Amino acid sequence: MSIETNFMGMKIKSPVIVGSCGLTTDMHTLKRIEQAGAGAVILKSVFEEQILQEMSNSLHLSIDGGNSSEAYYYIEEHIQEQSLDKYLNLIRQAKMELDIPIIASVNCVSSSQWVSFASKIEQAGADGVELNMFLLPSDVNMTTDDVERFYEEVIRNIKRAVNIPVSVKISQYFSSLARFAQKLSWMGIANLHIFNRFAAQDINIDKMEIEAANVFSSPSELPHLIRWTAILSNIVHCPLTSGGGVHKPEDVIKLLLTGANTVQVVSAIYENGTEFIQEANERLQSWMKEHDFEKISDFKGRLSVKNNQYTAFHRVQFMKYFAGIK
Ligand SMILES: Cc1cc2nc3c(=O)[nH]c(=O)nc-3n(C[C@H](O)[C@H](O)[C@H](O)COP(=O)(O)O)c2cc1C
């Protein structure tokens, strides 16, 4: 029996991959991630703003056009912690010491000259690059087309700049998500990653201030991911990575059944350690054995939406009989 699969055109030993986060910045943890049996790892993102700043060596960027000061300081701090050279060295070292694919990540909010940095990522030996893209649709002057064009432009530019496979991590916030995801998948990307997660804010009512909300996902996010994995997996023309709300080993099986090619975990590793990866692999193997499956393709996508047929995944409103609650 084998739990091998493909990720961005590479054969990997497990469909469980560790997503971009603070844990994927140091060699010690990366080694533990590999030892625990992850199929691949996505390094912490470098920020487009960071690339531009190092390029121009001066801070004259408009980050969000409005209240940018906090974002600005965050980026400054992040830059001090993690210079681009350090990032490229991490890629080189990880490539020397690990066997699993090492995917670099860039967090981008525009299609500017930062794209040239991607070729340095390639030269450093990264097996691929993931673009963590999000444009908050808060600008009343931007139409749906403007927003979508931004994503397309970035992908076109990055594809011109590198020869390594490109994965695109998107959010669910598109007015026609299925159509747009399909359009992106036609652009020669090697993987579509649903969904990215945002730094969220909370309100401190005593101080009447904005503060950071919990950064980790919760298990209640999984059904949303399952729905979209089921809907998108037969619509997109590239493999799908699903992540956001995976907290139990069984969740990996659920996402494979609904058509994910690979499953990304982050919060579960913060909460349970890298052992979670091993547990997820073992649970997958024991479940496959119980059901007489030899390989992942024997069951992958079995519960996905096929030929646009109407399924339970299309039910979005509460109904008495559906929830079983009066
Ligand atoms: C502390 C922390 C840092 C993160 N940093 C990044 C990042 O740099 N780039 C990125 O694409 N996603 C980042 N993420 C989001 C994760 O990659 C992932 O998409 C998200 O946590 C949802 O997956 P989960 O439910 O398994 O946690 C971060 C998440 C956490 C918790």
Provide the pLDDT confidence category of residue 79 given band limits of 50, 70 and 90.
Answer: low
In terms of residue numbers, what domain contains 78?
5-323
- Better pLDDT: 158 or 138: 158
If one counts the domains in the chain, the total is: 1
Q: Is the CB of 167 under 6 A from ligand 1?
A: no
Q: Is the pLDDT of residue 300 over 80?
A: yes
Q: How does pLDDT run across 180-239, given as a tens digit for each residue?
A: 999 999 999 999 999 998 888 999 999 999 999 989 999 999 999 999 999 999 999 999
Q: How does pLDDT run across 312-325, given as a tens digit for each residue?
A: 888 777 666 566 66
Provide the pLDDT confidence category of residue 135 given band limits of 50, 70 and 90.
Answer: confident
* Mean pLDDT value across residues 43-67: 65
- Better pLDDT: 311 or 129: 129
Q: Whose C-alpha lies nearest to ligand 1, atom 3?
A: 21
Q: Is the pLDDT of residue 151 over 90?
A: yes
CA distance 201 to 19: 22
Query: What's the pLDDT score for residue 75?
Result: 56
Beta-carbon contacts of 117 under 8 Å, excluding residues fewer than 6 positions away, are 46, 51, 55, 84, 106
Q: Is the CB of 132 under 6 A from ligand 1?
A: yes
* Alpha carbon of 247 to ligand 1 centroid (Å): 14
Query: What's the pLDDT score for residue 311?
Result: 81
Query: What's the pLDDT score for residue 62?
Result: 43
* Mean pLDDT value across residues 304-309: 84
Q: Is the pLDDT of residue 76 over 90?
A: no
CA distance 273 to 292: 30
Please list, residue by residue across 30-68, b when 16 or more beta carbons sit within 10 angstroms of its beta carbon and e when fewer do. Answer: bebbbebbbbbbbbbbbbbbbbbbeeeeeeebebeeeee
Query: What's the pLDDT score for residue 80?
Result: 47
What's 106's domain CATH number? 3.20.20.70
Q: Is the CB of 246 under 6 A from ligand 1?
A: yes
Beta-carbon contacts of 75 under 8 Å, excluding residues fewer than 6 positions away, are 47, 49, 50, 53, 63
Q: Is the distance from CB of 131 to CB of 166 less than 8 angstroms?
A: yes
Three-state DSSP class for residue 312? helix
Q: Is the pLDDT of residue 57 over 90?
A: no
* Alpha carbon of 200 to ligand 1 centroid (Å): 12
Among 24-38, 71-85, 237-251, the minimum mean pLDDT is found in 71-85
Q: How does pLDDT run across 99-134, given as a tens digit for each residue?
A: 999 999 998 877 777 788 899 999 999 999 999 998
* Mean pLDDT value across residues 33-60: 82
